[in-house]
Amino acid sequence: MSTAIPSSAPATYRCACCGGDRKAGEHLARERMYGDDISFRYAECADCGTLQLLDPPADMGWYYREPYISWQEVPAYVDQRLSAFSRLLRGWRFADRLGRFNPVGRIARHAFGEPEFPFPLTWFEHSKAGPGARIFDFGCGSARVLKYLRYNGYRHLHGHDRYMRKQTSLPGLELTAEIPSRLAAQCDLVMAHHSLEHLDRPFEGVQELKRLLKPGATLLIRVPVAQSHAWRQYGTSWVQLDAPRHQVLPSEQGMRRMLERAGLSLTRVDYDSSAFQFVGSEQYLLDIPLFDPQRSFVAGHNPDLFSAKQRADWAQLAQRLNEQGDGDQACFYARLS
Ligand SMILES: [Zn+2]
């Protein structure tokens, strides 16, 4: 679907990812999560294909109001205080699950079952970040990933979110609205799960995250990927364009160039898109906001909008696109060059 609009008068444009100064064109995208009747201009980089918001609203905080989905809480038992012994045992069990043989952890797996962790273990396998690792999560929202890591025995966890509602400190977990300066060169794994695309200057963001890495540590960045199948199919109805919250949507090439410019080497890319790219985008084609209180399938109010068969087909297609490196989001792993 072509959504290109004629380019406006040339201003000082610079691609936030590759640094190029040539636009392939501009796109007009509506706010569609809440259904606010307002549109935003995005530039497409002629060099790397990255999409970039040109006219951010002054009141960006308004676009993260309830029921913004990053604020989902964990179940109460995940937040519970654990005894030192329980944390140690859970850590051993998780380490064994990650393939670092731990005899006591192996017994715990048999006795108590596998660790409850509703996220991919590959993030921690590829980064080699076991329960003793110091982990920083940039733009952590309500810190679901960190809270589940803590529940599984991780002991050195730090989360940051500029829209953090309350500062929290649990044993082993610190959540702050600022990045603590004492973490410079202290982290084994720095993660940004769908947060970098919310920045107007992601290159500066990557440089800031790089400063937290120990030698040999991993930077893990998950972002929507511009120029992927879903963008080509749906254009500005692509659900992960998400104007105006997503200010810069890098292409794979844009990510590569941005990491290189920051002095980092890309070591691995895993595409991890889901049926959501189709469910959400098809819902937008029907002009139904994500949070529509009656008609939204995604928000759970209209379960008959898409059939089970249709959703299964989309899930299969998403898997195929991931294998082809054409899903609408990916996990990028990088190290210091
Ligand atoms: Zn570019």
According to the model, what pLDDT value does residue 11 have?
A: 63
Distance (Å) from CA 262 to ligand 1 centroid? 14
Distance (Å) from CA 27 to ligand 1 centroid? 15
- What would the pLDDT profile of 30-53 be if each residue is shown by its tens digit? 999 999 989 999 999 999 999 999
Distance (Å) from CA 22 to ligand 1 centroid? 8
* Maximum alpha-carbon separation in the chain: 67
Distance (Å) from CA 52 to ligand 1 centroid? 9
Contacts of residue 253, defined as CB under 8 A and 6 or more positions apart, other chains included, come to 18, 48, 49
According to the model, what pLDDT value does residue 7 have?
A: 54
Q: Look at residue 266 and tell me whether its pLDDT is greater than 90.
A: yes
Q: Look at residue 2 and tell me whether its pLDDT is greater than 60.
A: no
Distance (Å) from CA 113 to ligand 1 centroid? 47
- What would the pLDDT profile of 138-192 be if each residue is shown by its tens digit? 999 889 999 999 999 999 999 999 877 666 778 899 999 889 999 999 999 999 9
Distance (Å) from CA 214 to ligand 1 centroid? 29
Distance (Å) from CA 47 to ligand 1 centroid? 5
Q: How far is CA 321 from the centre of its chain?
A: 18
3-state secondary structure of 229: helix
Percentage, residues of the chain above pLDDT 90: 85
Q: Average pLDDT of 4-13? A: 63
Distance (Å) from CA 18 to ligand 1 centroid? 4
Distance (Å) from CA 12 to ligand 1 centroid? 14
- Among positive and negative, which fits the CA dihedral 295, 296, 299, 303? positive
H-run or E-run covering 251: none
